[in-house]
Amino acid sequence: MFDIGFWELLLIAIVGLLVLGPERLPSAIRGFQRTLSGIKQYSQKVQNELDHELRIKELHEHLKQAESQDLENLSPELQRSLVELRSAAEEVQRPYSKPDSEPKEKPGTDVGKGNE
């Protein structure tokens, strides 16, 4: 990982022994090991999550390709049905919109008033 040899480790141990002393050096090494293992676990989780997301994205792309190929090879009758289903889905998404074919009243005319 860091390509540290025996002599570099020995030098780090001697400097640590001189700085921390023989009483605090073992606890400092244990703390360093815990921190290093936590970093390794976190990086492994991130890598697994990224791999999972990439696999999901690839599956979606393959699914879209398969759907587009299947939709191109449909018979004309099924294509008409598909168009009808899409238009019905659009109508369901806009249930409260007013249709354009309603007769519009002229401004200034009252329908509810009779001859008075």
Confidence of residue 112 (pLDDT cuts 50, 70, 90): low
Q: At residue 106, does pLDDT exceed 70?
A: no
pLDDT attached to residue 102: 54
pLDDT over 60 at 21, yes or no: yes
Eight-class DSSP state of 110: -
Average pLDDT, the chain: 80
**Which residues in 26-45 are b (16+ Cβ under 10 Å) and which e?**
eeeeeeeeeeeeeeeeeeee
Q: Looking at the predicted structure, is the pLDDT value of residue 25 above 80?
A: yes
Dump pLDDT digits (tens) for 33-78.
999 999 999 999 999 999 999 998 888 888 788 777 776 777 777 7
* Apex 115 CA angle, 113 and 116, nearest 5: 95
- Do 28 and 16 contact (CB within 8 A), yes or no? yes
pLDDT at residue 95, rounded to an integer: 62
For residues 71 and 82, the answer to whether their CB atoms sit within 8 Å is yes
Q: Does 16 have pLDDT greater than 60?
A: yes
Place of tokens 């004309």: 76
Query: 60 is written with which tokens?
Result: 């979606």
Higher per-residue confidence, 64 vs 95: 64
Q: Which pLDDT does position 33 carry in this prediction?
A: 94
Sorting pLDDT into bands at 50, 70 and 90, what band is 97? low
